[in-house]
Structure 1
Amino acid sequence: MRTLGRTSVASAEGSIDGAWLGQLPGQLLKYLICQRGHVAHADEILAHFWPEGGRGAVVNLRHAVFSLRKRLEPARQRHSASSFVIARDGGYELDRRVIAIDADDFERAADEGLGALAAGEPERARESLERAAALYDGEFMTDEPYVDWAFAERDRLHEIACNVLRALDAACRATGDRRASVEALIRLVGLEPFDGTAQRTLLGLLVDLDRRSEAVRRYRHLRAQWIEAFGEPPDFDVRSLSGAP
């Protein structure tokens, strides 16, 4: 299952994407992905999807679960246990032993890379951090920008991605690859345009690498953003940035 960027689902036979991902079974799947790692209790699901309550809401939930299982396991016998959507302790959860989710792969690679950098192994760290950065193909579930149950997980993964890119910048500089450091910082400021430290470091590297025109263009855009957001320009300019740490 791909969740970094637009949600996408595939099985061993190929893609099973479709309009259903925007309908109730797909919404339920996305909710369970957000809650992965623990049981999503039926009461919580009902509160999100059927806040009016009542007996009809319970019936709707059961039907949504049935429809989701049918989408994920079309060959499953009607009364056989699901391999993917497990009923447990008054709720439901995804069985992560048999479901691969890109956000989990991203987080594992991030943990490996951050741990290696903290242990003073920048080359090993860089390999894992580059893998994590490649997996972060966009914000979590961009096809669900407004549902409140996705906000916390989107913010959490966004923060991990920023930490990955900061660490990748550090690992690249530690191994003497300033051009790769620039690429990491470009991605970082795309996620966090008001990270002053990252902006200063990026512009300083561009100046030192004799990419001065690019540095000036980026600074002009940054200056306009800061004035619009804060009413004043950043406290640095391109001329002061050669050799920025």
Structure 2
Amino acid sequence: MTSSNHVAAHRSRRAGRDRPGWQRYRRALDLLQRQEWDVALSLLAEAEVVFRTTNDADGQWRALAAQAEIHLSQGHAHLAMARALAALTIIEQLDDPRACGLMAWRAALIALQHGDYRAAGAYLQRAQLCLDMADAAPPGGLLAATAQLCAEVVRWQQVMAQGRIDRAEGEAAIRDVRAELMRHLLAIHEYIAEHCQSAPEAWIWINVDLPPPPPMLTDHSPSLLQRFLAWWRSILAPHALPNRSAAPHLLVDDPLLIEEPPAKAEHAVNACDAPITDAPVEESARASETSLSADAPEDETPRATAASDVSATPEATSPVRGLTVYTFGTLRVYYNDTLIDQWEGVRSRSLFRFLIANRHAPISKERLAELFWPDSEPELARRSLHQAVYCLRQTFKRVIGDVPVVLFINDCYRLAPDVPLWVDSDAFEEAIAAARSAWSRGDMGGAIREYGRAIDLYQGDYMAEERYEDWVEERRIVFQSAYLEALHQLARTYQERKDYPMAIMLSQRALSVDSCDEDAHRVLIGCYAAQGLRHLAMRQYQACATALRSQLGLSPSDELEDFVRRVIEKTE
């Protein structure tokens, strides 16, 4: 939406702000400036009821947002998140990307208080998108860059949880990222305070949303604000990572993908960027397949002759050894913790994805040629395959050196089995299997831990960049089904334990995958009702009915209808 449209929309809303509820709302804001929290909260709750009954969405989301600020300042993060997400849901129905972006920014800060860096990153990405639309974003893609720092914290947490790095080294790395994260958050806050709250149509935030600049963080003078600011200090503190008693590695998020920050590297022009020529196939094929050694047999890729070639590289000193491949979401490949972000040629990245997905068996060159170049003549398809393989080898050679990663044996290609390899989809399958086994034995602690590990690993659809390829679709569906299973099992467990914020976040994550998921809607309705949030429970039921009707042409099941009637009656 353009900035002019945004201003026009706000003018039309200001015209109706003498309607019922606004006097209470403005009075509450005055009280907030004097830090009279309890009276302000009561007035905001009254204003919200009036706004809701008069269908004043603009007033309702503002009242909810202000309630979220109070709850957060008082240390009630779960209530703050519930109000913030309710406000965000209402804003999304309005034509106001500026408000949506600012509310997403607030949701990110609340998620950080939970230690939920992935969710925080997702909300920061949403804030970047919305504020860009409103021409109100901090310069230089600062919100998106902060989201990438959140993703980096998550990655280090995963590496530590998998035991692939010493804990002390991992915590040191996370402290460095957190320090940079704090600087980014302060910069965003300063920009928003200067540019986004000066406009007359902006709502008033409580002025306690970030701590003072770093030199003042040691000031321990007693204040009500310290209850809110304490968690910010913990971002830079050297103690252990945030954890949850039941699922220490569970990080909950929105479906939006957080990209890894690109590493700087020189990109040399090579044969991979040149067009395919009419050179004889056998010459180009053998040249690429035996480029590592002139004495290698024609049908084999030679092995490295000395391990010292690898140990001599700077990357070999990294505590994370070998190849690390993330297949959920955007493909990310690391070697000894060095991100491989410069892929030679056009097809090398897709070819590597296929080899990773089928790494347990060799793949014939005929199958690869037909799969990736189905419309080409067989000879040209083979030539294209050889060039793609050569480019793929060059990609790894630039980082790894003369260690073969792709082998050609008996007219088949495969990944070298002696190169250490960790793949997130393997770890995901292991976690799901372990969780199911623990669940069947009645080991709830083990099941929760393993389901949480699986959820933490699932960072988006499997091989998301190959969305329309048949060869990946079946596995993608299987992984997504297992992911939803983990979300459902944990959400119900946390609901039974009355840990409603966790159950709500898990169910919202399930709905981000399937908005027609009645199980997730049911948990959300139950959690809202159990906390006395009857209006949120009803809104969730309406969202369920709308999704089913618009996407499937169906109505909610009789079981859900009966459940809603029962829980709503209890809240009256």
The reply to whether TM is greater than 0.5 is yes
2:465 aligned to which of 126, 135, 143: 143
Quote the residue 1:110 is aligned against: 432
2:491 aligned to which of 149, 169, 175: 169
Which residue identity lines up with residue 63 of structure 1 in the other structure? Q
Quote the residue 1:60 is aligned against: 384
Check 1:36–1:3 CA distance in 2 against 1; reply closer, same or farther (3 A cut).
same
Measure the CA separation in 2 of the matches of 1:20 and 1:151: 26
Shift of 1:32: 1.3
Check 1:5–1:241 CA distance in 2 against 1; reply closer, same or farther (3 A cut).
farther
Check 1:172–1:73 CA distance in 2 against 1; reply closer, same or farther (3 A cut).
farther
Measure the CA separation in 1 of the matches of 2:430 and 2:541: 35
Contact 2:349 2:392 in 1 (8 A): yes
Quote the residue 1:240 is aligned against: 565
Do structure 1's residue 3 and structure 2's residue 319 form an aligned pair?
A: no
Check 1:212–1:87 CA distance in 2 against 1; reply closer, same or farther (3 A cut).
farther
Shift of 1:201: 3.1
Contact 1:25 1:64 in 2 (8 A): yes
Shift of 1:174: 6.2
Gaps of 5+ in 2: 1-324
Check 1:63–1:19 CA distance in 2 against 1; reply closer, same or farther (3 A cut).
closer
User: Partner of 1:100: helix, strand, or coil?
Assistant: strand
Quote the residue 1:39 is aligned against: 362
1:221 aligned to which of 543, 559, 569: 543
Contact 1:172 1:181 in 2 (8 A): yes
Tell me the C-alpha RMSD between the 2 structures: 2.6
Superposed counterparts of 1:147-226, under 5 Å: 147-173=469-495, 177-226=499-548
Q: Residues 136-186 of structure 1: CA distance to partner in whole angstroms, max 9, x if unpaired? A: 111112233223322222212111211222232344356564443332222
Comparing 117-126 with 231-240, greater Cα deviation is found at 231-240
Contact 1:6 1:143 in 2 (8 A): yes
Do structure 1's residue 29 and structure 2's residue 355 form an aligned pair?
A: no
Which residue identity lines up with residue 50 of structure 1 in the other structure? W
User: Partner of 1:37: helix, strand, or coil?
Assistant: coil
Measure the CA separation in 1 of the matches of 2:408 and 2:534: 59
User: Partner of 1:4: helix, strand, or coil?
Assistant: coil
Check 1:227–1:45 CA distance in 2 against 1; reply closer, same or farther (3 A cut).
same
Check 1:231–1:167 CA distance in 2 against 1; reply closer, same or farther (3 A cut).
closer
Do structure 1's residue 92 and structure 2's residue 434 form an aligned pair?
A: no
Check 1:67–1:223 CA distance in 2 against 1; reply closer, same or farther (3 A cut).
same
Check 1:124–1:43 CA distance in 2 against 1; reply closer, same or farther (3 A cut).
same
Please, what TM-score do these two structures have when normalized by structure 2?
A: 0.38
Which residue identity lines up with residue 203 of structure 1 in the other structure? I
Of structures 1 and 2, the larger Rg is shown by 2
Measure the CA separation in 1 of the matches of 2:489 and 2:360: 26
Measure the CA separation in 2 of the matches of 1:142 and 1:173: 31
Shift of 1:95: 4.2
Shift of 1:202: 2.9
User: Partner of 2:548: helix, strand, or coil?
Assistant: helix
Measure the CA separation in 1 of the matches of 2:508 and 2:383: 49
Q: Residues 106-125 of structure 1: CA distance to partner in whole angstroms, max 9, x if unpaired? A: 22222222221121111111
Comparing 207-216 with 173-182, greater Cα deviation is found at 173-182
Contact 1:123 1:175 in 2 (8 A): no
User: Partner of 2:359: helix, strand, or coil?
Assistant: coil
2:395 aligned to which of 49, 63, 71: 71
User: Partner of 1:10: helix, strand, or coil?
Assistant: strand
User: Partner of 1:86: helix, strand, or coil?
Assistant: strand
Which residue identity lines up with residue 524 of structure 2 in the other structure? L
Gaps of 5+ in 1: none
Contact 1:113 1:124 in 2 (8 A): yes
Check 1:155–1:232 CA distance in 2 against 1; reply closer, same or farther (3 A cut).
closer
Higher RCO (C-alpha under 8 Å, 6+ residues apart):
1
Shift of 1:239: 4.0
Contact 1:39 1:92 in 2 (8 A): yes
Shift of 1:133: 0.4
Structure 1 runs (4+) deviating above 6 angstroms are: none
Q: Residues 65-90 of structure 1: CA distance to partner in whole angstroms, max 9, x if unpaired? A: 1211221232544xxx61x3233453
Measure the CA separation in 2 of the matches of 1:206 and 1:88: 59
User: Partner of 2:413: helix, strand, or coil?
Assistant: strand
Measure the CA separation in 2 of the matches of 1:198 and 1:143: 27
Measure the CA separation in 2 of the matches of 1:211 and 1:88: 64
Shift of 1:6: 1.0
Q: Residues 20-56 of structure 1: CA distance to partner in whole angstroms, max 9, x if unpaired? A: 48x2111101111222322222222111112234223
Q: State how many pairs are aligned.
A: 238
State percent identity of aligned pairs. 23
Measure the CA separation in 1 of the matches of 2:566 and 2:533: 13
